[in-house]
Every structure is written in structure tokens, then in C-alpha cells.
Structure 1
Amino acid sequence: NVDAEVTLPRIHLAGTDENDLMYGQAHVAALLKAAEDTGVEFVYKTAATRLVQNADGIVTGVLADDKKRYRGKKAVILATCSYDRSEEMAQAFNYHMVQVLKDGRALTAATNTGDGIRMGMSVGAALDGMGGFIGLSNNIGGTPTLPGVPEVPGILVNKYGRRFVSESDHYAWVLRNVFAQEDHIAWGVFDAKAAALTGAAVGGVSPLSDDFSKEIADGSVVKAETIEDLAAQMGVPSKNVKAALDTWNTDMAAPEKADSQFPSRACGLEAIDTPPYYATRSYDYSLGALGGLKINTKSQVIDTEGEAISHLYAAGQVAGGFMGSYYPGTGTGILATLAFGRSAAENALNESEA
């Protein structure tokens, strides 16, 4: 057993009533108020289209779709997010995200189409960290849930009814393994004990009904009294699902309750043996692409020769390389905007006028 203090909830929630801003809204609202209080001027409904350089290659401003040129007295800071909604860039860098876009599972702003990355590339910027995205699973079988809710005991099986990953590994790693399965098919399998822990209290991408009646009616959750019937509804070999569950339950009957197939799983292990049994397809949703313009420790954009592009900075998801090829963990995206945003601003202010 793991000490409770080691497994304290790590998902970041805020607000105490329905009128409180939460998640990204609260983050952006605080930054917006601070900027407005400082006197920052915002130009809305106006897209920057091209960076402007002088004869010496110094970035001096941007051209916008209102036909105006906006000058950066000391520098230009790109903070346009990544290519979350760009099918063209997904085709070039990340086929996993191609599938997510095709299935309509992108949860990012529709305007995140990689404009800042293209603008940087047009003046010779190098790219870094391309190829991953921040994924969020809809699956409730064997995955961590919300703060204060126990881990749901369940297993993931592929279209052949076989386990292929430790379900409580890092969620980005689990989602990558789901996508790697044939036809990208995986099912979360759990029982009545796990079902009692889920429902509207867990939710994930969208709240679940307490008894799964809505999900069973629309086919997103299947339910059966036997594993054989459940496997038939899933369209997977029942002998393999049964073998996976038999192995799991044998492990859970042992005093140490250790997962013999994927030993990295450390806690939240329970037998899956109480009917009715449930299964739901495992899908991932995109919270944003990883990768963008290469920057240095001063948040300066780096060109393909390894040199800083004069008076050009990048912060947030438009910059790449500081996360790797898949999302390292909850809160990293916010931390990156704060750390590199502050770095870009402080270093830009120290520039001489362009």
C-alpha cells in the first residue's frame, strides 16, 4: 500500500461556486486584467499575417490583415499557440493528430492553426519538439480520475482482447499505446464495483450519467452479465478477454496484489469480478499540439543556423522543444506560458529600439 500523503491529488481545480472562472478561463482572465491595468492596448479581430524585417534582418513588426503595419519598438513576441487545428501541419508532423482532427476530437480554439509557427519559419526559424500533442482520454477503465475519487480499477484491451500497457502509466504514454494498436482500437473493461466509483462524479471529457443509462443507450458503453456477452458486444475474442481478466484476478488474489504483466502499476488494484461488466472504447482528445519554433533560454527564436533571430521572441505553445514528444504532466502547459512569457518580456524590454 502507498502512503496517502504520496498520492495526494495533483489535478488543479479552482473556484467554489458556479460563477467562478476555472481552468484556462481563470488563468487568462488574471493575465488580461493585469495587462489592462498596465495600459496594454489590444487590437481585436485582427490577425497578424507576416513578420517585417529591415535591411539588417532585424524584426521590426508585423503586417496584419487590416492592411496595417504594427511596429515593435524593441521586439516582437510570438504567442499564437501551436498548430492544434491545422490538418496540413498535422499531416507533416503528427499523424496521430490527423486522426484526432478527422474524428472531431480537438478541444482547442479553432483559430490555433499554426500562424505564428509559419511566420517564424518565413524568416528562417528552426523547429523543435514537433510530433506530439497534449492528449486527454475519455476512458474510465483503469485510469486516474478526479481529485478525491479513487483510481477506477479496470484494464485496457485491444481489438484482440489482450492487454498492452499498464493502465496507470502516464496518460500520454497510455494514449500513445492506444493509438499504436491495430485500427487504433482499445477498450476499457471494468465491473460493477468500478461503476459505483464513476458516473457524474468522474466525467473526464464530459460528465457521465450515474448509471450509464445514457451511454448504454447511445452505444458508447456496453454492459453485460457475463464476460462472454460483453466480448460479443465489443466484437473481440471472448477467450482472450477472459484470459486477461483471469490473469488480473489471480494477481489480485495474491497478498501483494502485484500486476504480473505490467509491474509499473503501483496502487488502486482491485479484482474485476463483480457483474454486471462494462466496456467503453478508449479515445483521446487533443488539448493542443506540441512543438514549435526553437528558442534559447532567453526565449529568443533561433534560426536554422543556430543563431538568434534579432528582436524576435516566442512563448507558450508556439515555442517548442521544452516538453519533448509527449506531454510530461498536468500543469506543464500553463507553467511554460508563465516561465517563457516572463522570460520573453524581460529580455525584449532590455533590447535597444529596433
Structure 2
Amino acid sequence: MSEPDAQAAPELSLSVLIIGGGACGLTAAIRLARAGVECVVIERDAVPGGSTALSSGFIPAAGSRVQRAAGVADSVEDFAADIQAKTGGAAAAHLAQAYARAAPAAIDALEQAGLCFELLDGFLYPGHRARRMHTLRQRSGQALMAALGQAAADAGALVLTRTLARELRHDGLGRITAVACERPDGTREHIGCDALILACNGFGGNAAMVREHLPAMADAVYGGHAGNDGSAVRWGRELGAGLADMGAYQGHGSWATPQGALVSWAVIMDGGVQVNRLGRRFHDETQGYSEAAVRVLAQPDGVAWNVFDDQALALVRDFPDFQAAREAGALRTADDVPALAALIGCDARALADTLRSVARDAPDVHGRRFMRALSAPYHAVKVTGALFHTQGGLDIDARCRVRRADGGLFPNLLAAGGAARGVSGNDVAGYLSGNGLLSAIAGGHIAAATAAEIAGMALADEPSR
């Protein structure tokens, strides 16, 4: 909750306080600490992870040093246009531009802090016109979080783990004065600050908020982090902050069931298909894995099968998330169409007709154009639709300052990442691959500069080199 400030002085007071030690909070902390700005991160878990640790760890950016070194022709303008195109023009224009501009600078700054990025190769995620997914060699969100944590420690940023932010204290006029935190032994302490960055969470783990804002996902599997409990939204409501794009979220139509593991959409983009238990395709899979969640859930029994071949398997076999799904027993293999039909439990003739349609070098009935046919042996994974994380939240301006419901700005309250509105419009179909980490990394980079300015310091610009 949020409460008007009491008279008792906080036990500790500093320039910038950050709630949330995920990718957003750590990106902000790294930039602040490397510039000599005093900051502390409050993190509820013993080891920072959040939504990022559950992701593939791919960060989209146009114009970074890594992308230029790879000879990829891309631009901030093209990236912002791709964001808007995915949403049909519904993405917050000021944020799409701000995040597209900040992303390459944020990637370059993190490289200077010790992270080593490379471009993901071999395929394009839906909606991206160029290779712009930045990844660590390990290709996992856990590796990204470990690297960010090490960079934060090297920079001298203090991360208070196992510390739960309980309430925001303010002066009655909207200026945040302190945060009340609960330590593992149950004791509370108040930490004062000149500027507060909410980098904590979305609301995907709050069943009541999901029912209110995302009714299509009310009964879906939740594949996100338990810390996404809607605290930022709740605090914002209590303070009178505006909310925006609350109907936006990242779903995923490739959640292995019953294993509960993510199966990379790369197998689909490299020629794979989704069929229902009748052996029929039901959508253009290249439109995106987020909206696929709703389409899969609409199929009989709310499930589908990812069907792909050895070529696609070779592309993803080393991805940690795919390895986890495989080790859990999600991957099945069939030598021919009758065996695949028996595995799925569908009519072999219907499935054969479906796979024959994949061979056509022309748009099919769903609008997808296949460049090659699938060949035996066939691989299959039974999947369902899942909710991963929300893309709506506190309304913010291009500098990540939280807006009041009446349009004004809070003097020292900032938000980014899952706590704030993203750039996915107001619907599941607006999610462009990587939008979550774009909001986290670019948003954290921007919020750091804004917070430093509020605290009376200025960070040097870090244009992409």
C-alpha cells in the first residue's frame, strides 16, 4: 500500500532506490553505479531472476555495435516501425520511439559493463525485418540474469535480496519519500530516496487482476514468475496514477503439456506447423507466438501439437529452454505420417493432407507461405497456450516518469519494465518478439538517467558506437 509520510526519519536515505532486481532494475542500477550515483536495489527473492530468468534472454535492438559489426542493415526507425506494425499502430508512439532509440545504447553500455552479446542467427522472429535479437552465448534468460548480477556487483551497486517492498511513503502531494521494506526476520525498515524506480513486476500472477483485465487468460496456465503480483499497479492506483494498455500481454502458444516447459518458436519459424488433435492446422503460425496462445486454447481440449523435422530440430537443439523441454520428455519422434498420426491420436489421412499442403510454394488457406516441405522423421511436442507476462501497467512518459490519472507527472516516481505500460498496444496480438526485454533493458537505461537528474546529477549520454 502507499501511505502519507510519517514523522519518523528513514533508517537509510539515498539518491535512487529501485524496487525489483530483474533485468530492468539491474540495468538501471548498473548504469547509475558506473556513473557514481548512489543507488540500492530491493529484491524479494534470494537470487534475482524474475520474468527474465524464465525467458530465452533475447533482446531486440537496432544499431548496436554488435549488429553493425555483423553487417546487418537496420535502423531505429525500422525497428520502431516494426513495433507499430505488429500492433496495427496501437503501440504508445512516444515509448516505441524512446525504447527503439535507447536499446542500442543500453546494449553497448552493458557490453562496457562486461556482458558479451552476439546476434541470434538462422531465423527471424515474427514481425522483425532484420536480425536484431541480442543474446549471450548461453542463449538463456538465466544466463542473462547471472551476467547482469555480476555486472551490478562489479559496478558497486547494492542489491538487498530477500527484501520485500511493502508500502510507499509519500508527502501527500505525490512525492515519494521512502519505501517500507520487510526483511527475512519480519522486521521492517524504511529507506528514503530522492527518486524511486518501480522495476518490480506486472500482474500475471495476480488471478483477480488477470480476470479483470485479461479474461481470455483467466483459466490459462501461468508460465511467469510468482513475483508478478501486481504490486506496482496496486501502488499506482492508491497514488492516483494512470494505467494504460492493461489488455496487453505476452502469451505463448508453445507451452509443453503436461511437462510445463517452453518450446522455442524457432521450430515453427523454420517450417514447422501446429496441428490440433484432428490433425488440422488452424492459423498462420508466423503471425506470432503470443496470439498463438489464444488460438491454441480455442482448439479441442485446448491443446495442439508442434510438428517439425530434423532441420528445425538442429536449429534449436542447443537452446537451453528446448533442452529442458526435451529432458522433461516433451519431444516425441515418428518415422512416418501414420506413426505421427498415432502419436497425435488423429486420422492419418487428415494429417497426410495437412502435411501435403505444407509443400506448396504459395500462400495457404491461412495466408502462410511455406518455403519447403517437412520431411520424415517427424518430431512433435504437445502444447497448450500460456500466459507469460503482462504488457500493461503504470502510464509513463518517454523518460519513464509515472503519469497521474489526470495527465500530470509525479515528481520523483518512475517505472519501467513489467511495472509500466509496454509497446504492445492493448491486445495479445500486439506483442512483438522481445518486447518484454526491450521494455526492461531500454526502460531501465532511460529510467536511470531520469532518476539521476531528479537526484541532482546527470549521466553522460551513451550513444551507440
Q: How does 1:146-225 map to 2 (within 5 A)?
A: 152-190=270-308, 193-194=310-311, 197=314, 200-201=317-318, 204-207=321-324, 221=332, 223=334, 225=336
Contact 1:142 1:167 in 2 (8 A): no
* Residues 1:261 and 2:371 are matched in the alignment: no
Which of 122, 126, 133 aligns to 2:249? It is 133
Instruction: Name the SS of the counterpart of 1:206 in structure 2.
Output: helix
2:177 maps to what in 1?
60
Cα distance change on mapping 1:322 and 1:225 into 2, 3 Å: closer
Instruction: Name the SS of the counterpart of 2:212 in structure 1.
Output: helix
Larger Rg: 1
Amino acid at match of 2:344: M
Cα distance change on mapping 1:331 and 1:30 into 2, 3 Å: farther
Shift of 1:96: 5.1
Which of 104, 119, 136 aligns to 1:14? It is 136
Structure 2: distance between partners of 1:83 and 1:320: 12
Structure 1: distance between partners of 2:422 and 2:263: 32
Describe the superposition over 1:228-275 as per-residue Cα deviations: whole angstroms up to 9, x where unpaired.
x533442334443232223333x1xxxxx224224444x6x322353x
Shift of 1:97: 4.5
1:347 maps to what in 2?
450
1:114 maps to what in 2?
230
Shift of 1:94: 2.4
Structure 2: distance between partners of 1:177 and 1:344: 36
Which of 345, 354, 357 aligns to 1:235? It is 345
* Residues 1:91 and 2:211 are matched in the alignment: yes
Instruction: Name the SS of the counterpart of 2:323 in structure 1.
Output: coil
Structure 2: distance between partners of 1:196 and 1:16: 17
* Residues 1:298 and 2:361 are matched in the alignment: no
Instruction: Name the SS of the counterpart of 1:336 in structure 2.
Output: helix
Structure 2: distance between partners of 1:5 and 1:347: 31
Amino acid at match of 1:272: L
Query: What 5-or-longer segments of structure 2 have no aligned partner?
Result: 1-70, 74-120, 124-130, 257-261, 457-465
Residue range with higher mean Cα deviation, 79-88 or 167-176: 167-176
Shift of 1:106: 1.9
* Residues 1:69 and 2:173 are matched in the alignment: no
Instruction: Name the SS of the counterpart of 1:117 in structure 2.
Output: helix
Query: What 5-or-longer segments of structure 1 have no aligned partner?
Result: 252-256
Which of 268, 271, 278 aligns to 2:373? It is 271
Cα distance change on mapping 1:259 and 1:199 into 2, 3 Å: same
Cα distance change on mapping 1:196 and 1:225 into 2, 3 Å: same
Describe the superposition over 1:295-345 as per-residue Cα deviations: whole angstroms up to 9, x where unpaired.
112211122222223321112211114332346444433332333223333
Structure 2: distance between partners of 1:142 and 1:85: 22
Amino acid at match of 1:47: L
Cα distance change on mapping 1:298 and 1:279 into 2, 3 Å: closer
Contact 2:203 2:390 in 1 (8 A): yes
Contact 2:198 2:414 in 1 (8 A): yes
Contact 2:251 2:292 in 1 (8 A): no
Contact 2:266 2:312 in 1 (8 A): no
Cα distance change on mapping 1:30 and 1:158 into 2, 3 Å: same
Shift of 1:287: 4.5
Residue range with higher mean Cα deviation, 182-191 or 6-15: 6-15
Shift of 1:14: 2.0
1:25 maps to what in 2?
146
* Residues 1:283 and 2:384 are matched in the alignment: yes
